[in-house]
Chain A
Amino acid sequence: NAGVTQTPKFRVLKTGQSMTLLCAQDMNHEYMYWYRQDPGMGLRLIHYSVGEGTTAKGEVPDGYNVSRLKKQNFLLGLESAAPSQTSVYFCASSSWTVTDTQYFGPGTRLTVL
């Protein structure tokens, strides 16, 4: 049982390049989330999904797109990376049970030059 995994762990991009971050969970969770964490700050929600084939915008969605073609995977895309997107990205998943925590992946550290 790996929990929530993220690929890659580190990435350096040049301004204007594109990339996709992959999140996978093996807990059969319905809900999945993408957050970003900037230095000295808490996590902010980018996009989320309440089930396979559904996605919705969070607090800071601009410049990102997501897809959830399979229940266990949630992809975050940057079409044209900007230095302002330099951050640590966390994926999380959770069940329907409101008393249960969200389970977080280890994070991806992205630097955009």
Chain B
Amino acid sequence: AQKITQTQPGMFVQEKEAVTLDCTYDTSDQSYGLFWYKQPSSGEMIFLIYQGSYDEQNATEGRYSLNFQKARKSANLVISASQLGDSAMYFCAMRENWGAQKLVFGQGTRLTINP
């Protein structure tokens, strides 16, 4: 069974600093996808970034990058130059690339950006 572990319940970072949110995963599948979502206090789920298990380069989307280390089964999210609006819950998720393509979520990390 697939499992996602996020070991940081909360993080506090100064504005403009870079921040790394940790995510490790466990799966016996060879083909899978890794996603990060942001959930602000308003509650909606916002897609941030995707990494495929066969992608050789780390994914990047603006200020977001995914540090993918396949051998270590880790998929850390890096946010560069953090902003006050980055304060939110962040969820790492893994998707099976077969059948119903179900997502499995981690428990999340609450990120607080201090001015």
Interface positions of A (Cβ within 8 A of B): 31, 33, 40-45, 48, 50, 56, 58, 88, 90, 92, 94, 96, 98-99, 101-104, 106-107
Contacts and interface: CB of A to CB of B under 8 A. Distances in A.
A58 B105 contact: no
Chain B: number of interface residues, binned into ranges: 20 to 34
A59 to B, nearest CB: 8
A105 to B, nearest CB: 8
B100 interface: yes
A34 B4 CA distance: 19
Interface of B: 4, 31, 33, 35, 43-45, 47, 50, 52, 91, 93, 95, 97, 99-108
Given A41-B108, A42-B108, A90 B102 contact: no
Contacts of A102: 95, 103
B102 A99 contact: no
B107 A41 contact: yes
